[in-house]
Amino acid sequence: MNDLKTTPGPRAGTWLPHVDGLRALAVVAVMIYHLRESWLPGGFSGVDVFFVISGFVVSLSVSHWNGGSLGNFLGRFYARRLQRIVPALLACLLLTSLVSVLLVPRAWLSSSNELTGLYAFFGLSNYYLAFHNETYFSPIAAFNPYMHTWSLGVEEQFYLLFPLLFFAWTRGERGRALSISLIALACLASLADAWLRPASNPTAAFYLITTRFWELGAGVLLFQGMHRFADRQAGPNARRLGEVSAWVSLGLLGWALFVSAVAEFPFPGAILPIVGTLGVLAGLHVAGARSILARALGSALPVYLGRRSYSLYLWHWPVYVIMRWTCGLDSPTTMIAAVALTLLLAEASFRFVEQPLRYSARLRLWPRSGVVAAGLALIVTSSGLSGLMTLMGSHLSLSTVTRNTSHWQAQTLLRIDEVPECYLLSRSQQAGANPAWVYERGGCSSRPQSAPDLFALGDSHTIGYSTMLTEYVLRTGARVILYPNFGCTFASLQPARESGQCTAQNQAELDDIHKRSKPGDILLLAALRLDRLSEQDAMVASSEHWTSMDTAQARQERDVASTQLLTQLAPLSKAGLRIVFEAPKPLFRSPPFRCSDWFNRGNPICAAGLSESRAAIEAYRQPVLESLGRLASGLGASVWDPLPVLCPTEHCESVRKQGPLYFDGDHLSAYGNRLLLPSFASFIAALPEARVHAHDAGIPAMP
């Protein structure tokens, strides 16, 4: 490879060692950020550095094209890009698909993984993430092994547009002016979108090519600007000034990576890393390859990492994510192991996949259209293979959660063995802005005339009873109307969780229940009324957590919520609807679905174990139970308590030998649902007859 030395301008085929050094800086920053955000708060800006470099280098690589027509130019360009990007990407995606199928259980925390991976094969994962509101900074992102492919999608989409805008550059001086104008206009339009879109959709603003084009375009414009002055030899003073400006620019870039963590990306957050990268490239262009900074960036280790930066970027994130799912990524030992495995996989990918296919002598003999066709066919075939592995997940998986979904995942039951002639009929009906799910029995004896309708409203814990409620329908013939109440909660006794759009949504669903119900029907209100002890991605309980429900503020909030609920529910109670509150269930500090296999039991999230003291749980929920009792008394309602069935001994267990009672730290499993059904059915059958309350003078006061 050639040394730049003091050549006035970069030329096609010229190797710029300091560019590899910048690549190394960018990929190391991203890897550190993804390992522990607090170590490098702006480390994700390394992606912005990559964007500038990509625009600069791709311009350099095709700037002296003289092969004729636009068609020839496009064929050559796309063939080279496919050889550069696709082989290593497909190898990474396929291996990640296989390991994910084997080790990652199906859950809310992994619900976006499969589709993100599928879109990544076609360079569209950024669009999937943008329009499914999967933010880059959310906890769920840390458990999606394909999340990092959003930036590859941006680059691939840029490469679709770039040759059309750059081709005029190869046509001579007038064409070069036209190309600069086209790319500059596209950058201005992209900047405008990056400025305006965050106000309406910040997630899309982060991911889309329309808001990121200006970053890659800046690299293109930098190359074009350099080339315009390629014949001017820099003197000693200019070279010194160039190196000073490069050092200052590197300082700006360092500030962006080490200190800055601007929330709004790509605008204005990306401006600092973009300006810093442009300044380093421009300064070293003037200073020359013999300058101190150019030699530092072009030294052995930065160049080694920079040449492997693509493979390092591809592999580091899946390695980190799979380790989070299994052994954890919290201790120094696991972090070192993650980096070592990343380096090993990246080296193997670079040597045996990326380089051989990128510089294949055999592929050089193929027509460019043949290379493009073969690349596209390989993408389609690989995506199909990945999809097949996903479809066979329940057979291939090593996770007991995936292999035994019917025990772990709460779901609607279409049939049960006890009444094989019956089946579940389900339909949705509109309830305000959201649907309600209606479940009835079909295929066997008609619905009993005396069976009351059961309405269920709350939050995800109501949906979490779907197995119990649909089996109740199949066994009794009763009709159940379940309101998913997406994104909201009701009757949680925590007013802050029911504010905003939830106020109108909850009222619309109550109005729908009032309209559809008749005296004697039942309203089940199930919701999370305690502070969680764990999330699916982390343990949140602390020593203070166990008393959080008994503080003065918590009691005051429950009193406010109870008064509001009396107002909301009194019309239903007066109309003869029998209201049933679910008492708080036991909660756990470790999510069972992440701690039930040999390869994840040692994860730090499992350290608290899968059981809790019944005495501690009883004490934790007692203040809320007392509030529910007063509320139920004021409404003439009842309280159903699942705790005696779920925790019959002095220790509450989330998993028993017979099966899991819980899926995560507070949502029941399908097995737990079925275990509760006898208690629930008996409680419903024993409810007092409906009566119309005479509260004509107003809403009763809290006792």
Cα atoms in the 13 Å half-sphere on the side-chain side of 326: 19
Q: How far apart are CA 508 and CA 522, in angstroms?
A: 18
Does residue 486 carry a pLDDT above 80? yes
Interval 156-192: pLDDT, tens: 999 999 999 999 998 888 889 999 999 999 999 999 9
**pLDDT at position 83, please?**
96
Measured between alpha carbons, how far apart are the two ends of the chain, in Å? 86
Interval 520-545: pLDDT, tens: 999 999 999 999 999 998 878 776 78
**pLDDT at position 499, please?**
87
**What is the average per-residue pLDDT within 122-133?**
94
Question: Nearest Cα to 527, choosing from 440, 472, 617, 463?
Answer: 463
Question: Nearest Cα to 56, choosing from 282, 314, 248?
Answer: 282
**pLDDT at position 12, please?**
47
Interval 537-572: pLDDT, tens: 887 877 678 888 999 999 999 999 999 999 999 999
Q: What is the CA radius of gyration of the chain?
A: 31
Q: Where are the domains of the chain?
A: 17-398, 405-685
**pLDDT at position 44, please?**
94
- Work out the mean pLDDT of the chain and round it to a whole number: 91
Interval 666-701: pLDDT, tens: 999 999 999 999 999 999 999 998 654 433 333 333
Interval 224-241: pLDDT, tens: 999 877 656 678 888 999
**pLDDT at position 252, please?**
94
Q: How far apart are CA 290 and CA 243, in angstroms?
A: 10
pLDDT bucket at 448, cuts 50 / 70 / 90: low
- Asked if 401 and 106 count as a contact pair (C-beta separation under 8 A), the reply is yes
Secondary-structure class of domain 405-685 per CATH:
alpha beta
Interval 189-221: pLDDT, tens: 999 999 999 999 999 999 999 999 999 999 999
pLDDT bucket at 300, cuts 50 / 70 / 90: very high
| pTM for the whole structure | 0.91
Interval 339-391: pLDDT, tens: 999 999 999 999 999 999 999 999 999 999 999 999 999 999 999 999 999 99
- Asked if 372 and 366 count as a contact pair (C-beta separation under 8 A), the reply is no
**What is the average per-residue pLDDT within 263-279?**
91
Does residue 263 carry a pLDDT above 80? no
**pLDDT at position 691, please?**
57
Residues with Cβ within 8 Å of residue 7, at least 6 apart in sequence: 14, 288
